Amino acid sequence: MNTLRRNTLVVGASGDIGLEITKHLMKEGDNLYLHYFQNKPQLDMDKDGEQSIVLLKADLSNNDGLETLLEQLPKEIDRVIFANGKSFIGLFQEMSHHQMDAMIHLHVHAVWKISKHVIPYMIHKKNGQLILVTSIWGEVGASCEVAYSSVKGSQELFVKSLAKELGPSGIRVNAVAPGYIETKMNHHLSQEEKEVLVQEIPLQGPGLTEDIAHSVMFLLSEKARYITGESIRVNGGWS
């Protein structure tokens, strides 16, 4: 492994947002550890000759899958971007216990255990970054997405709290909170429902995956060296 390169983990690298972030990281020349569950990240660009890209398949909605990932993941990780997520759309009382447990495991438990796995190395180096892609619903909540709003709200407070704890060790922890972004997660919406949402957004349109990736890359850069414990809203003024 080339020790001069940063080792970056992208959790959820095959999703629309995770894949866009991954493409930007490839251009920076990071050694990449790319987590996915069902679909391998489709990278239609060439890496440079010394760049390492490792694919890690695991279902993070249960403990067995999480342990599988941790067994494959080295502790020498410099930066982690959590871009994974799954929503449950429907009445809260109609959720099964299994669905509730899976949501908590995917969005909360997995974030905790992966962070705990890599933090000791970051503390040793006195440098490191954790970035979570959260959601507008983690701040304002959403009817029929109560569970998703709850776990994303948990992530927002995780960022604020952990940033205070790790700041003295030179580690920055931040979030990017998307609003309505054009991704597969919103494909369940009808055209009429999309138009209603757009009318509520001051910039009168959905965001793109590039908008989220650009914000993540800003937080990773030296331009954001004095920013920690923050959540950047990328929502077109929706909230």
- Tell me which residues are annotated as active site: 148
For 181, which DSSP code? Answer: B
Q: Which residues contact 236 (CB under 8 A, 6 or more apart)?
A: 179, 180, 201, 202, 203, 204, 205, 206, 207
Three-class secondary structure of residue 34 per DSSP: strand
Angle ∠(63,87,97) on CA atoms, nearest 5: 55
Q: Which long-range contacts (CB under 8 A, 24 or more apart) does 93-101 make?
A: 95/147, 99/147, 100/147
Report the distance separating Cα 171 and Cα 173, nearest Å: 7
Tokens of 67: 């342990």
- Contact criterion met (CB below 8 Å) for 151 and 135: no
DSSP-derived pairing of the beta strands 231-234 and 171-178: parallel
Tokens of 237: 């003024």
